[in-house]
Chains A and B, each alone.
Chain A
Amino acid sequence: MTISSITLALILGIAFGFSLNKAGLTTYRNIANQFRFTDMTILKYMMTAIVVAMIGLYIFRGLGWITFPTVPATYIVGNLVGGLIFGVGMAGAGY
């Protein structure tokens, strides 16, 4: 890894962590309450991020500025079972 790619990773990571903190996802309450539907922060946050990035990505690809990186593999049982296990920990620990 070059210095510039390390710096880039750090900057992007800091921005990511900052936005997580400002969304309030670093507190137990906000994570747990999503699963009780008394607080919709996670869904609002995730869906906004997905939509914003999606619009940008498809425009940039259309302009020929980027090619998509290797996409996460789809294997129906694995993705679903992994998600099912993940949910237990996420709602239980609230992280």
Chain B
Amino acid sequence: MNRIKTFISQETWSPYIAGILLGLVGLFTVLLANALLGASGAFESLAGLLGKKIAPSLFNNVYWGVEGSRTMPVIRPEITWGVILLVGIFFGGTLGALSSGKFKLRFNDDAQWKRIFGPQPWKRWVIGFVGAIIVEYGAGIAGGCTSGLAISGGMLFVPAAFLFMAGFMITGIITAMIIYRKRY
């Protein structure tokens, strides 16, 4: 019992152990819910839900569904199963941090980040925000993110998953090279 406690309270596990847990979660998602794990689609659903309230004409398109049309939209602008999953992911991450006693409100305390970009928290916020827009835009085009396409697609042997992984590794490496330059 004590050994389980110590194990759970570790800040990080071996990525293989954490990966096995994620693999089982992915497996049980198919088995119990006949669904796939994903995160980016949930953000799009929420964006569509908001957008249809704020600017209905702008959001009245093929992507989020045309009013009165019977064709299924690419993204359903409602509280989908994936949105609930996303809420769970948030609390799961919080629980993980709490379990290791590392839970803390922080704005910018990553030493490596500070070395590269400087200590100002606003830079972290701006770069994080812009990066998130790029990530979500890319995920929208590709049809999923690292979880919804790379992992969920990968475990079903879908070619799209491996194309996507190749894609983000290529530009990820180039971006890191540009950011880190000599320190790469």
Residues on A lying within 8 angstroms of B by beta carbon are 1, 5-6, 8-24, 26-29, 32-36, 40-42, 44-54, 56-57, 60, 65-69, 71-76, 78-95
B176 is an interface residue with CB less than 8 A from chain A = yes
Known: A5-B33, A89-B134. 8 other contacts (CB 8 A): A20-B93, A21-B92, A22-B13, A24-B12, A53-B155, A67-B34, A69-B35, A86-B168
List the B residue with the shortest CB-CB distance to A82.
B142
B residues 56-95 with Cβ under 8 Å of A?
A: 79, 81-82, 84-95
Q: Is the CB of A28 within 8 A of B138?
A: no
How many Å lie between the Cα of A83 and that of B10 in the bound state? 33
Q: Which of B18, B34, B37, B84 has the most CB of A within 10 A?
A: B18
How many Å lie between the Cα of A35 and that of B163 in the bound state? 17
**Smallest Cβ distance from B144 to chain A, in angstroms?**
5
A8-B32, A16-B85, A74-B158 known; A53+B135 contact, CB < 8 A: no
Partner of B175, one of A17, A35, A44, A53: A35
